[in-house]
Structure 1
Amino acid sequence: MSNLTRNPYGLMATPALDLTPTGHLPHLVDQARPHPDTEQPLTGARTWTYLRQSDRAPISVTCPTWCESTHEMDQYLTQAPEDIQHSVHGREVTVKATANGTYEDWRILGAQLAIAPDSEEPERRAPYVQVEIADEVWSRPMGAGELADFIGTVEGQLAELRKLHTGLVQVRAEHAHTVDVLTIIRERQATATGPLAEVMDAMASLVEKTGDPDSVAELVLGLTVRARAELLAAEA
């Protein structure tokens, strides 16, 4: 049974994984949580005891040296040996995301190193890493090779994001340039009259359609030079 609640007190041991407060649970949490002024780092192997639910016999459990779970609530709620999980969590990061239209902080790519020595699932009986891809969406338990493949997949996606970032910088700059040119054209169009106003309107329409103000400017300049040359030739 995996502790996917990110709760260091081991609430993965609650029957049927029902994490809804039951009246006595908040009190137990308050009693189990160390006071901030007296809390000490968890180091070295630790042994603790719970009462087996079937016969109330005391069962001793020794944590691996790397386990950072306090197991305080496990002492009250453990049903059977397979409920016991030892774990340590990596750093958490969040991004703004939405599943319902409201953007909130979502955890991404958090991970836990864990072992459940008596688990009914064989892959959890040896140390494994499980990744929280997004809030409450977890990968399967992974060994070293599987984790390496997972990291490779994530690195590949990061490379794609970097490519998109480079493209975004470019197209944002082009978009800003287009908006600036349109602003200038519209300002001059507002004071222009006659044929000049029509030319400005045509230029603005071309810029909006093509999104390429430089090419439009070159086209208009070319047409202007040509028209001037034809006019001078006619006058001669």
Structure 2
Amino acid sequence: GRAPKTNVQSSHIRHISLPLKQGNNGVDVDLCPTCVNTFDDLIYFVLDGIIELGIINTCDDICSYVTQKSGSPVLEAICSIGCDIVGVNEFIKLATEVDLDPIYFCESLKFCPINDNGDAKFISFIISPPHAQAYSTFIFDLTFESVNGTGTSQLLFNIQTIDAIKISSFFLIEAKKPGKYAERFSIDTTPDPDCESAVDPCEEWFPGVYNVTVMICNGECGSHHPHSQLYDMVKGSFQIDK
């Protein structure tokens, strides 16, 4: 089965890769985003395994269980490599921590780099077009600068909607060297389907002004784990016309 997602990610906002990337041109399959993106599933199967197996003496015990139950070579790799790096006791201790967040977990397994002296400051935040009707796509262009480089970071978007439905999206930003960086996102203001029959709240994109807050953080925004801090915050808005 699929793991239930702990943080509900809004599907309205998407990350658009920009062709001009400064800095990290790694050729290897990058294990940091892989670890972060598979975190929910891995923890789900590891916790399941702890309950079902009872006694876990080796990394192979728990990772064989994860592999068998998930059928995923990616989860097998993350489990085996990560567990071997920290040892089985530390791996189990980490996996069972309260309020565990993906970036801290993947940093602890040495998949994601740590930089506690990093920084990032927003230089610009442009939303285009400034106003349009519902069903339009708005583009968010962000640029930020880092003097000392960044740790493994997160961009968090919060949008205040007219109908008070929370739209929030977060994106992994891999550790950066000092420099200027541009990130582009798009937001689709097509109302959620089946709004009349939906039990869950759904966004209708009523006319009005939508305030957007973007945070860039070392680690996960709002995390109480080590290697986490707010670097900077920027605000903007767009308008949905009648």
TM norm. shorter chain > 0.5: no
Identify which of structures 1 and 2 has the higher relative contact order when contacts are C-alpha pairs closer than 8 Å and 6+ apart. Answer: 2
How does the TM-score come out when normalised to structure 2? 0.20
Q: Which has the higher strand share?
A: 2
Q: Which has the higher helix share?
A: 1
